[in-house]
Amino acid sequence: MDELMRRRVYGAEHDDPDPGPRPGHAYRELSGGPLDGLLLDVTGWSDTRLAEGALLLTEIGAYGPGGHSDYGPRPGSDTMWDWRGDTP
């Protein structure tokens, strides 16, 4: 858990003095692709939404600014989401 608490959360500003996870929130670790290693705050997401995954806006994916990276649940893991590719 200590390692998780040192990670940066997706969407945190680069100059944020505390870009890490917040107590009481639920997170998924992003694995692979341009957002590898970031945490996604999924606090309050429904089971259906969690099962679908998310398209996350990123400037560092294959499509540059305005592009998205697709991440979804890793089979057998409640905490990891794997990269499924980039979209415009």
What's the pTM?
0.88
d(CA 81, CA 70): 10
User: Which pLDDT belongs to residue 1?
Assistant: 46
Contact 21, 39 (CB under 8 A): yes
User: Which pLDDT belongs to residue 24?
Assistant: 95
CA 25 centroid distance within chain: 13
d(CA 4, CA 9): 10
d(CA 74, CA 17): 31
Residuewise pLDDT in 10s, the chain (88 residues): 455 557 899 998 878 888 899 999 999 999 999 999 999 999 999 999 999 999 999 999 999 999 999 999 999 999 999 999 999 9
Q: What is residue 11's three-state secondary structure?
A: coil
